[in-house]
Structure 1
């Protein structure tokens, strides 16, 4: 039986259900609820803006977008966003999804924390970015009414999300903090990881091996 939240249908194709099962198995309640809110808030913003998008690809992107934080999918040396994107690509390839669709999902996941870029790409990529921004930082908060927000949060509770998500982020990449260089997750390490010293781009330039 299909389920709709705030008039947004949760995709229930075999491909979508399989992706949800992976999140259930390897994620936790925090990621489950967050990922579904990301899908719903992204879809709601897309509908409000009159943007056409593939709901199934948007949903799968949302389900995988933070799976790179989990032990199952975390690599020793890649950004967690890339780990999640690679996991989604492997899953979709196994199910014979066309390459163009796979590239959309890969980009949506890999770029979901890339401020100033993702919002200008294809709808599925931009809407995952805006769904994440809405749920994590409250970006464009008034673009969705309080009534609709309550329906989404009623179905997928926040449960002190503000205070739980930053430690959850750190847990996913504290073994490879160097992968946060050049992206917003360095702020998480700076706040929560004792002794963390972020790489400085200017130092990389000034101390490069080039002899001037």
Structure 2
């Protein structure tokens, strides 16, 4: 099964262009890996979902960590959700679909969302947890993991991502990023098995 091909839509193509323009290579590859992790998990667990919505959310979910879209007051996931809502309006999505996109992006940093409640948010959470901290990567076939990292190398992802999260936490001490840093999460990021040799 192909977990790497994006949906064939104008919004999907535009989302990729946006991240290519505004995200560093390590962030672009993380976003692309997130989509592939999500698709692989959906196939394994038979989670029905909206593929276009998932792809656009995966591609745009960390835009709030980039300099052009960072907010001095809002947590990065909320800032990114606002950017995504504006993007979706430009792509011709109606208000309800724009709201869904924003909701999926915000929820990816919140408490676990069951697939039955919100399949796209659930899939993005599983994907981001796998890619960022290695949570559950052993549940994915080694062949898939190898192809994923060959297609979208990590390019120093852990160090770069942690630096952005620490900056968010320092400037916005009440945000979800700050909460994560009190849990030992940073050690899981730096110890992610995806970054180990071999």
Q: Normalising to structure 1: TM-score of the pair?
A: 0.78
Are residue 113 (structure 1) and residue 109 (structure 2) matched? yes
Shift of the alpha carbon at 1:44?
Answer: 0.7
In the alignment, is the contact (CA less than 8 A) between 1:166 and 1:188 conserved in 2? no
Matches within 5 A, 1:7-86: 7-8=2-3, 9-86=5-82
Which structure dedicates a bigger proportion of its chain to helix?
A: 2
> Runs of 5+ in structure 2 lacking a partner?
185-198
Q: Which deviations, in whole Å up to 9, do the C-alpha atoms of 1:91-116 show, x marking residues without a partner?
A: 11122213332222111111111123
The aligned counterpart of 2:171 is: 176
TM-score, reference length from structure 2 = 0.83
Q: CA deviation at 1:48?
A: 0.8
Other-structure match for 2:122: 126
Instruction: Mark the runs of 5 or more structure 1 residues left unpaired by the alignment.
Output: 1-5, 192-212
Q: Structure 1 residue aligned with 2:178, among 148, 172, 185?
A: 185
Contact 2:85 2:102 in 1 (8 A): yes
Whether the aligned pair in 1 keeps the contact of 2:64 and 2:79 (CA below 8 Å) is: yes
Shift of 1:39: 0.6
Which residue matches 2:134?
138
Which residue, 147, 150, 161 being the options, matches 1:151? Answer: 147
- Output the CA distance in 2 between the equivalents of 1:106 and 1:127: 15
What RMSD, in angstroms, separates the aligned Cα atoms of the two structures? 2.2
Aligned length: 183
> Does the C-alpha gap of structure 1 residues 94 and 160 become closer, same or farther in structure 2, counting only changes over 3 Å?
closer
Larger radius of gyration: 1
